[in-house]
Amino acid sequence: MKKLEAIIRMERVGLVKNALYKSGHASLTLTEVKGRGVQGGIVERYRGTEHVVDLLPKVKIELVVNEKDVDSVIKIIAENAYTGKPGDGKIFVIPVEDVCRVRTGEMGPDAI
């Protein structure tokens, strides 16, 4: 099993969420986060004064999938989060040792 953490633009969340749902990956967690990547943020002007905004609002999507599904889920997220502009995000793949469904006590891949 692998945990995928995708940091994406807020305006792309609906597309990514719907595409994941349609592909059978309905279970996920969304968290509003702030961060920056290589671009280092943006410069905004307000009343003639420049302000550097170096922490931009993003959304982190977390889901655990079977190892055989990792590539297809990454493809779904990447295709639906893509705008072609800096700040489209990143997807991290993290090994998951085990999982337990609290309600039923199921363990391992059955608990996903």
DSSP calls for 9-32: EGGGHHHHHHHHHHTT----EEEE
- Please work out, in degrees rounded to the nearest 5, the angle formed at the alpha carbon of residue 11 by the alpha carbons of 31 and 33: 25
**CATH number of the domain where residue 77 is located:** 3.30.70.120
Cα separation, 53 vs 40, in Å, equals: 9
Each residue's pLDDT tens digit, 81-108: 999 998 899 999 999 999 999 999 999 9
More confident residue, 67 or 56: 67
Each residue's pLDDT tens digit, 44-55: 777 888 777 778
Residue span of the structural domain in which 89 resides: 2-111
Q: How far is CA 64 from CA 33, 53, 97, in A?
A: 19, 32, 11
**What is the tally of structural domains in the chain?**
1
Contacts with 63 (C-beta within 8 Å, 6 or more apart), sequence order: 3, 4, 20, 25, 27, 28, 29, 73
Global pTM?
0.86
